Amino acid sequence: MTQADIGLIGLAVMGQNLVLNMNDHGYTVAVYNRTTSKVDEFLDGPAKGTKVIGAHSLKDLISQLKRPRRVMLMVKAGEPVDNFIEQCLPYLEKGDILIDGGNSLFTDTNRRCNSLKEKGIIFIGTGISGGEEGARHGPSIMPGGNPEGWPHIKEIFQSISAKVEGEPCCDWVGDQGAGHYVKMVHNGIEYGDMQLISEAYYLLKEALHLNQNELYQVFADWNKGDLDSYLIEITSKIFKVNDEDGKPLVDKILDVAGQKGTGKWTVINALDLGMPLTLIGEAVFARCLSALKDERVAASELLKGPDAKFEGNREEFIQAIREALYSSKIISYTQGFMLMQQAAAEYKWQLNYGAIALMWRGGCIIRSQFLGKIKEAFKLNPNLKSLLLDEYFLQEIQKRQKGWRKVVSKSVELGIATPCFNTALVFYDGYRTAKLPANLLQAQRDFFGAHTYERGDRARGQYFHTDWSGTGGKVSSGSYNA
């Protein structure tokens, strides 16, 4: 019987394309799908003429694998992953490897990694980005979990991943759920990038009244410079597509954005870790606001904004929007990498931030020229606390700041909502401020709740309480940080 190098469960579009990618690189893949007719359809269709082996049961699939057996799950996150793990276990032996390539929550991966280790099974949680095109021709792959499994999957994963300057966009991320965590943050940044681009488009369309061809040209031009990225590229292409009546298709799409939850997970985790992930948070909330379509339509008849029109040089304002987009993008990635650094400290992971930037440099949805600059920043200083403190990003923010502020103030003046441009600037101004008004906030907390405070003229770690009203006494509540 022919022995396969790896087995894959789940023949939706991502699973099928990964199988074909592996086949192209010389690996024999055995496949199984819960609806077994999909196996036959795949073998008679896209996989016809390949070395792909079909299986109509999990027992049959696993029996055809070389040892240690490598089984990859490409199924819906959550309960389906747990169900397939349980179904596979009777046919696996100590040292076999289970790989979850879906968008699983990192805490689920932590749990699975620990429980399967007790059974002698090596579990890998792998983030994969790039959509169906990436899966077929070279995705960004972010593996984490039990490090004992990495030597057994490294060759396959790095061979099928995207390459940038000859280097694979795949490397070991870290223990337990680190791979899925980094993919989660990637998705959160993706939310931010898409919202920022949408806000730039909205200003160009609503404030400057650019037509379809002008919008195409602006984004095509932006894609030739420092904003060169997959998302800017596809945005320009969107403006070239007309509906059957010859009018722009994008104008006919309902302004209600969907989401699958990974952006929300990122924001929830940021709150858990006490990190100011404000831009991605606003990107998630912008999608939530878009979902209130009926309420917005009704409110538009009642709630009035400023009666103002753009006056000024259009070309200068287009350049200012470009500067606001790039500056805000810097803030988004700054916050994302700050979150990963905090997570590494909290979960005791050893994350290589330059390698993560390289993994995102190609194959994935947020791939861009910009990520090469992040890789360089962490190469120069592996302990860099914030991208804003890197010389390149510091200079870029400084020279673009005037245009950025102009865009934010003008959007407020015109009554055009640009939540991510705005919150990015607010974060920047807060981050560069040595003394914030939190001293008054702490005084308020101590006044009404005796929560205590530290003093700027005393050593950190000493807590004080004041009887502000003269009737509160000297007893304070316990100090804590949420």
Among the listed residues 461, 459, 465, 467, the one whose alpha carbon sits nearest the alpha carbon of residue 477: 465
pLDDT at 1: 58
CA-wise closest residue to 177 among 70, 34, 81, 258: 81
pLDDT above 90 for 366: no
- Ramachandran bin of 108, using left for φ above 0, alpha for ψ from -120 to 50, beta for the remaining angles: alpha
Q: Is 475 part of any known ligand binding site? A: no
Q: What are the pLDDT digits (tens) for 429-442?
A: 999 999 999 999 99
Give the list of residues 6+ apart from residue 182 with CB closer than 8 angstroms, or none: 127, 142, 144, 173, 340, 351, 356, 359
> How far apart are alpha carbons 92 and 87 in whole angstroms?
10
Query: For 239-383, where are the alpha helices, taking DSSP H only?
Result: 262-273, 278-290, 293-300, 314-347, 353-359, 370-380
Q: Is 264 annotated as a binding residue?
A: no
Cis peptide leading into 68, omega within 30 of 0? yes
260 is in an annotated binding site: yes
Q: What's the rounded Cα separation, in Å, for the pair 404 and 350?
A: 35
287 annotated ligand-binding residue = yes
**Would you tell me how many other CB atoms lie within 10 Å of the CB of residue 415?**
12
Q: According to the annotation, is 131 in a ligand binding site?
A: yes
User: Annotation-wise, does 186 bind a ligand?
Assistant: yes
Residue 252 has pLDDT above 90, yes or no: yes
For residues 210 and 216, give the distance between their C-alpha atoms in angstroms, rounded to a whole number.
Answer: 10
428 pLDDT band, cuts 50/70/90, is: very high
Higher pLDDT, 266 or 363: 266
In order of start, what are the domains of the chain with their CATH numbers? 6-172 (3.40.50.720), 183-432 (1.10.1040.10), 436-481 (1.20.5.320)
User: Is 190 one of the catalytic residues?
Assistant: yes
Q: What is residue 363's predicted lDDT score, i.e. its pLDDT? A: 86
Q: Check whether 26 is labelled as a binding-site residue.
A: no
On whether 76 is known to bind a ligand per the annotation, the reply is: yes
pLDDT in tens, 281-332: 999 999 999 999 999 999 999 999 998 899 999 999 999 999 999 999 999 9
Q: Which among 38, 48, 183, 410 is annotated as catalytic? A: 183
Spot the catalytic one: 38, 190, 199, 373: 190
Give the side-chain half-sphere CA count within 13 A for 100.
Answer: 36
Is residue 340 within 8 Å of residue 330, measured between CB atoms?
Answer: no
Give one word for 473, left, alpha or beta, with left for phi > 0 and alpha for psi -120 to 50. Answer: left
445-458 CB burial, b ≥16 within 10 A, e <16: ebeeebbbbeeeee
* 391 classed as catalytic: no
Q: Full-prediction pTM beyond 0.85?
A: yes
At residue 54, what are phi and psi to the nearest 5 degrees? -95, 150
pLDDT-derived band at 481, boundaries 50, 70, 90: low
